[in-house]
Structure 1
Amino acid sequence: MNYSLLIIDDEESIRDSLTMALGRHYTVNSCASGKEALEELPLLAPDLVLLDIGLPDISGLEVLDHIRRQSPHAAVIMITAFEDLDTVISAMKRGAFDYLLKPLRMDTLKLCLERAGSSIRLGKEIRLLQDKALREQIPFFIAESEALTDVVQTVAKVAVSPDTPVLVEGDTGTGKELIASAIHYRSPNFRGPLVTVNCAAIPAELIESELFGYAPGAFSGAGKKGKTGLVEEAAGGTLFLDEIGELPGSAQAKLLRFLQEGEFYALGSTAKRTVRTRIVAATNRDLEEMIRSGGFRQDLFYRLAVVRIRVPSLARRKEDILPLARLFLHQYGEKFGKKFNDLTQTARAALLGHPWTGNVRELRNIMERATLMACGPDLDAADLGLATECAPEAESRITLTPGGVDLPTLLQDFEHMYYTQALALADGNESQAARLLGVSRDTFRYRRGKLGL
């Protein structure tokens, strides 16, 4: 395997001689300073690094720290002219693979590089096993409805990119965090961290330091060590910013700079930091309306919304209600040590007739409670606690006039019940329900809309 090798040393003669000696076996690049190395590192992504500890501009140990953050799988061999035991121990603790003394012996260097290459191969084999375990975390979707099928297809397309920003919009409880998780685990970043932060849950005066960190002594109570921000903690992975509409103006400006340049400054620091972190933001608010009222930056909105995903409410995807309910019935049945055969017809009708203002989260909560409290073997409408809301609905809308029964209302109520039962029998599938009623799918959809189902 042809590994890439980066030589970081301020002595030109050493760089040239090592490049000449190792060029046949490795793809060799070299840098004359720590600053140059930090600029080139994201582009080169080396497998192996020969790093001089005594660089003139930045300590080799600091460069090592940057390499461990940006290229954690690279094997770094430290080069030192002086066998300072404390420095060597510090380098090994920080993740160096080995160290060599100058002047370098070529046979020793080649042997060390071969061992480092073997370590990289072993690491890749281990990561393949880890990757398999990580891939098993990929969320799956109940997507019987056309509306959610479109969302799933968009997720698959956008996940191919490791850093394209995504804005996920939708009502509370629709599953926006699930979308962010799916994007992360389907992306090239899936081995990196997925860090979630609720912008509404952090006080406005703290959100900037939480996202971007702060330097030692940046403010009263900041402490001597400072703090790494969530943007940096998610380096190489995904940062999910939930409730992005709650982000205060100062933090909006800083986030915009990071999205545009990939760089930021920790609070109270003059040192520029560069990381590659994908941003997925979510909101249940109308950001475009907030822009008009001055509550959200238009330029940040455009940068976040390179790809926009609108998650439909559960009421707009009735076909997903019964499959989701059965999924939760199975999950909570296993959790509580219970086994249910299925949902009864009245339970299915109750679920399809419920407005679901709380979306999937409300459905999950109702199914958890019902599964815990019910005895089975089937789950009924009464177990769901929806019987009083749905079962007598048709009867309650029948009204009497002085001359007797209001026939148009009676007909509408009968049709309402007729369509509801057809949907229940078809498990929420519109096409199948239309066939049961002997009408076209378009006619079924039109009447369903008219009846408010």
Structure 2
Amino acid sequence: MADSAWPILLVDDDPAVLDGLASLLERRGYEVHRASSAAEARAEIERSRPPVGLIDLHLQDGDGIELVQAMREIEPDSAAIIITGEGSVEAAVKAMQGGAFDFVEKPVSPDRLCPVLERAVQFTRFRRQAADMRSELSQLGQTPLIGNSPAMEEVRKRIAQIVRTRSTTTLILGESGTGKELVARAVHHGSVRRKARFVAVNCAALSESLLEAELFGYEKGAFTGAAQGGKMGLFEAANKGTIFLDEIGEMPLELQAKLLRVLEEKRIKRVGGIDDISIDVRVVASTNRDLQREVEAGTFRLDLFYRLNVMTIRMPALRERLEDVPVLANYFLAEFAREFQKTLRGFSDGALTALQSYSYPGNVRELRNIIEHAAIVAPGPIVDRSHLMIESDASRPRRGRIQLELPDVQLATAERELIFYVLEQTGGNRRRTAELLGINRSTLYAKLKQYELTGQTEGRKHVRSRARSSS
């Protein structure tokens, strides 16, 4: 069934065809705008800016392709379907090259027309949603949070509650690639702090000493290699604004204690300094770890957890909101079409089915990569299943129960063996390994170095323990 009262421009200079098609479309719930000539069609395009058109190729006073181009000049994300003569392959090709979304042959069959029309409506609806999101947040300089699923509506609801406060600490939970930094930016840009800086730091990307210097700054001579005049830290740089502590679960315990003091006293002390510096900043933190389990394991401070966990936002995995995949995919496709200067108007039914059937271990980040690849390889204008770099879920390493045989019960031993096991299962693919482990690549690289696993991706000579998959 059609979207409720979705506007469609219907153009044909044969009264019988015009009446017949109009009756069919109206019965299916569309809002039909009729035009019996090219002149009438142009006037209707300027007046109502229709998102979808069904246009006869040959009109007595004009050419259908010119009308397609007129629609796209006024409404760039419109979709026009050309009606061609029976067996007119050359005309169909010409229409597609001229910017048509698709074509149908005369005599028009409802069985052929309706699926094509529904795809065109879906395409324009997704493009309009994406455009509205871009417009809504373009002044804020951020990528919109895309999706209308209940899970994303809950995320927006939580953001709306948080931005009404000035300094409430926020903890964002979710797997890698779900868009946690976008949520942090939305909190900043929606609050009274929007005119000050938003500063992001990845706690997993730096060593403890470097992270401390980055966060709190340092004085002249604080350590070997310190800048002559010292350096302002990120907390100072974010004063009056927001600091985003990404992957807070990776922060060393000693540094956690110093962060706790900052949250409690609203003051920082530079490395090598003696004076306290007052700060006014909202702290937003994120993690893909279960911090309560980290507290139980002794790797995360309970008091810091309570300080951070004032307001929590859980970002859903993409597999939990597959209904958002089409609008996300079309948003990314439009983005890459502009970047690559290609005409890409949407996805075939097979491509959309494949996109909505995949589980996305890498979440939205993986979907974006898939669409970027498709935008490069697709000749246009429609992305087909063959253009999608999607492997079947069955071909990926199993996510069931994993049994590890360990020489001891130390947490570090278990972590080392699990990382090596997943590396073996992925053939040494570090990006995929990080996705399956639920950590970002910088964290994985740090752990590979920590456990001396660098370069050991295809077996090892001295295996202290063996991991195997069990059902």
Same fold (TM over 0.5): yes
Cα distance, 1:277 vs structure 2 = 1.1
Which of these residues, 209, 212, 216, is aligned with residue 208 of structure 1? 212
2:277 counterpart (273, 278, 281): 273
Q: How big is the shift at 1:391?
A: 12
TM-fit CA distance, 1:157: 1.3
Structure 1 residues 151 and 335: CA distance shift in structure 2, 3 A: same
Q: 1:315 aligns with which of 314, 319, 335?
A: 319
Alignment partner for residue 349 of structure 1, among 346, 349, 353?
353
Paired letter, 2:360: W
Could you list the per-position Cα deviations for residues 322-349 of structure 1 after superposition, in whole angstroms to 9, with x for gaps in the alignment?
1100111111111111122221110011
Q: Determine if contact 1:169/1:309 at 8 Å carries over to the other structure.
A: yes
Query: 8 Å contact 1:171–1:284 — kept in the other structure?
Result: yes
Q: Distance in 2 between matches of 1:134 and 1:300?
A: 35
In 1, Cα distance between equivalents of 2:286 and 2:278: 24
**Does the 8 Å CA contact 1:134/1:185 hold for their aligned counterparts?**
no
Bigger fraction of residues in helix: 1
Residue 282 (structure 1) aligned with residue 282 (structure 2): no
Partner of 1:103: none
Give the distance between the partners of 1:337 and 1:347, measured in 2 at CA: 21
Pair 1:178–1:237, CA change in 2 (3 A): same
SS of 1:240's equivalent in the other structure is strand
Alpha-carbon deviation of 1:353? 0.8
* Match among 174, 178, 189 for residue 185 of structure 1: 189
1:155 aligns with 2:167: no
Q: CA deviation at 1:372?
A: 1.2
Summarize the Cα distance change of 1:201–1:186 in structure 2 as closer, same or farther, 3 Å threshold.
same
Match of 2:380 in 1: 376
1:228 aligns with 2:226: no
User: Separation in 1 of the partners of 2:142 and 2:209?
Assistant: 35
Alignment length (residue pairs):
260
| Cα gap change, 1:223 to 1:379, in 2 (>3 Å) | closer
> Measured at CA, do residues 260 and 391 of structure 1 come closer, stay the same or move farther in structure 2, by a change above 3 Å?
closer
Unaligned runs of 5+ in 2: 1-135, 396-471
TM (normalized to structure 2)? Answer: 0.53
Structure 1 unaligned regions, length at least 5: 1-131, 393-453
Output the CA distance in 2 between the equivalents of 1:214 and 1:237: 21
What does residue range 16-165 of structure 1 map to in structure 2 within 5 Å? 135-165=139-169
**How far is the alpha carbon of 1:224 from its aligned partner?**
3.1
1-structure distance, mates of 2:341, 2:252: 46
- Deviation at residue 208 of structure 1 after TM alignment: 1.2
- The answer for the alignment partner of 2:392 in structure 1 is 389
Structure with the greater alpha carbon radius of gyration: 1
User: For the aligned residues, what is the CA RMSD?
Assistant: 2.0
Q: Residues 234 and 325 from structure 1, CA distance in 2 versus in 1: closer, same or farther, beyond 3 angstroms?
A: same
Aligned mate of 1:328, from 301, 308, 332? 332
Match of 1:172 among 166, 169, 176: 176
Please tell me the residue identity of whatever aligns with 1:300.
L
Question: What is the aligned counterpart of 1:365 among 369, 382, 400?
Answer: 369
Aligned-pair CA distance for 1:133? 9.9
For the 8 Å contact 2:347–2:382, the answer to whether it is kept is yes
Give the partner amino acid of 1:262.
K
Correspondence for 1:302: 306
Which position in structure 1 is the counterpart of 2:436? Answer: none
Structure 1 residue 390: deviation in Å? 8.1
Contact 1:209–1:229 (Cα < 8 Å) also in 2: yes
Equivalent position to 2:203, from 196, 199, 203 = 199
User: Are the equivalent residues in 1 in contact too, given 2:326–2:352 (CA < 8 A)?
Assistant: yes
TM-score by structure 1 length? 0.55
Residue identity in the other structure for 1:271: D
Q: Using the aligned pairs only, state the percent identity.
A: 43
Q: Please say if residues 138 and 186 of structure 1, whose CA atoms lie closer than 8 Å, have aligned partners that are also in contact.
A: no
The 3 A distance-change label for structure 1 pair 279 and 271 is same
Give the conservation status (yes or no) of the 8 Å contact 1:208–1:250.
Answer: no
